[in-house]
Amino acid sequence: MTMFTRRTLVQGATSLAATGALAGPALLEWSQAWAQAAPWKPEKGAQLGMLRWKYFVQSEDDAFMALLDAFTKATEVKVNVTRESFEDIPPKASVAANTNAGPDLFWGLFSLPHLFPQKCVDVTDVADYLGKKYGGWVPTAVAYGKSGNKWIDIPVCFNGNMLNYRISALQKAGLSKFPATTDEFLEYAKATKRNNTPGGMALGHATGDGNTWVHWCLWAFGGNLVDKNDKVMLNSPETAKALEYAKQLSDNMIPGVAAWNDAFNNKAFLAGEISWTNNGISIYAAAKVDPSKKQIAEDMDHALWPVGPVGKPTELHVCFPMLAMTYTKYPQACKALMAYLLEADQYNKWLEASVGYLTHPLNAYDANPVWTSDPKNKIFGEAAKRTLTAGGLGSVGEKAAAALADFIVLDMFANVCTGREDVKGAIKIAERQALRLYR
């Protein structure tokens, strides 16, 4: 039997290498010891409701629910989880914030908490506790987590959104490695279309996959929604060049991407309809466990985003912040759960169960074996440190959150790529929307 004392519970990152994956009785034993030592004591009779994003990797969700079960048994705090698609979380969270009624906890994407920062419980004590214990937060986690001088959420994890591609189609296009520049990427897209192995990236209201690729493209050419002072600067030659490039790229994609949400590219890739797309590791994870998709798993790999004319990476990966609403009757229970989820003894296990779909926000978890167990996982471990924030050059605040939620940049790209608007018209519409937000 492992003996847990307060000292062993607070040792933190130095014990990461020796931490084994806990399961069953061992997980419960650890959780009970943690609950006794933790500084947050749940309110008597506390029950929590949590709305989270729909999972894309079954093993991740299974492990997450096992952690919640152990937390409930250790603290007597029941956690009721509901799941919504990415695009449905912001409006539901906004309604809850406006009506002061709904789930105690929301676990959403990007800048969600910054839509209503005054309605988020101050969790600075949790963030400080975890940061000191586990080697500090990556800079983008701090940007997403803080509003002014206080933390309004805990960035539980990131999702690396990388290029997924079929190796055979890449070789058929005459390449030995994935394109490293935007010019090479366009030529690759043209070649795969000629070879009847096209790719595709979402241009519908795909909160994750759609937003990530269009922001990468905008920034790769030097365009930005706002400058460092949050002044709208969208109407620029750089934005025009990004849109012109995206139009050429989309012309060489599979038809129908204008209607895709975050699930469509997964299905198309696994069905053999496309040979490249942007996504997390969920396509590969699904293919590895499905015997009928074994050939796809063996024939696919992942790549970093090509670099554009700006000459440096301009990636946008998905942050998953968790916030507690100020109307909750159980703020201490909420804080206890947030801290518990990121403790090494279960966070390491959960990361491994996510098979690379989720990436850590705390530096100590660089040592997790999921990043070295399969070479196709490796680059996903870099996502939290490589990503820019949703505000681009500007701040990550309420206005940046609203711009993402309103799909201003994504709709601008979709308008050009589908031919609904020319470049000038699309920029004008988006600029008008942005100016209303950034008054």
> Domain containing 28 — which CATH number?
3.40.190.10
User: Are 283 and 354 part of one and the same domain?
Assistant: no
User: Are 145 and 283 part of one and the same domain?
Assistant: no
User: Are 307 and 334 part of one and the same domain?
Assistant: no
The segments of the chain whose pLDDT lies below 70 read 1-24
H or E stretch including 289?
A: helix 282-289
**Structural domain count, the chain:** 2
Spell out the SS3 assignment of 386-417.
Answer: HCCCCCCCCCCCHHHHHHHHCCHHHHHHHHHH
User: Are 169 and 152 part of one and the same domain?
Assistant: no
Q: Could you read off the pLDDT of 31-88 as tens digits, one per residue? A: 999 999 999 999 999 999 999 999 888 999 999 999 999 999 999 999 999 999 988 9
User: Are 110 and 248 part of one and the same domain?
Assistant: no
The β-bridge relationship of strands 47-53 and 105-107 is parallel
Is residue 245 a part of any domain in this protein? yes
Is residue 377 a part of any domain in this protein? yes
User: Are 173 and 286 part of one and the same domain?
Assistant: yes
What pTM, to 2 d.p., does this model score?
0.89
Helix, strand, coil content of the chain in percent (nearest 5): 50, 15, 35
CA 79 to CA 69: how far, in whole Å?
8
124: domain range?
Answer: 21-159+317-386
User: Are 370 and 286 part of one and the same domain?
Assistant: no
User: Are 265 and 193 part of one and the same domain?
Assistant: yes
User: Are 131 and 256 part of one and the same domain?
Assistant: no
Closest to 322 measured CA to CA, from 67, 166, 188, 123: 123
Helix axes 344-353 and 25-37, enclosed angle (nearest 10) = 140
CA 11 to CA 345: how far, in whole Å?
11
DSSP string, 128-140: HHHHHHTT-B-HH
CA 96 vs. chain centroid, Å, equals 22
Is residue 172 a part of any domain in this protein? yes
Is residue 3 a part of any domain in this protein? no
Alpha-carbon dihedral 257, 262, 264, 265, rounded to 10 degrees: 80
Is residue 16 a part of any domain in this protein? no
User: Are 187 and 309 part of one and the same domain?
Assistant: yes
User: Are 194 and 328 part of one and the same domain?
Assistant: no
What's the confidence (pLDDT) of residue 25? 80
What's the confidence (pLDDT) of residue 23? 56
Is residue 392 a part of any domain in this protein? no
Q: If 0-12 CB within 10 Å is exposed, 13-18 middle and 19+ buried, where does residue 46 land?
A: buried
Long-range interactions of 14-22: CB distance < 8 A, separation 24+: 15/344, 16/344, 16/348, 16/364, 16/365, 16/367, 16/368, 17/367, 19/344, 19/345, 19/348, 21/348, 21/349, 21/352, 22/345, 22/346, 22/349
Is residue 283 a part of any domain in this protein? yes
Residues whose CB falls within 8 Å of the CB of residue 378, separated by 6 or more in sequence, listed in order: 371, 372
Is residue 154 a part of any domain in this protein? yes
Structure-block tokens of residue 108: 């959403």
What's the confidence (pLDDT) of residue 383? 96
3-class DSSP state of 62: helix
User: Are 225 and 245 part of one and the same domain?
Assistant: yes
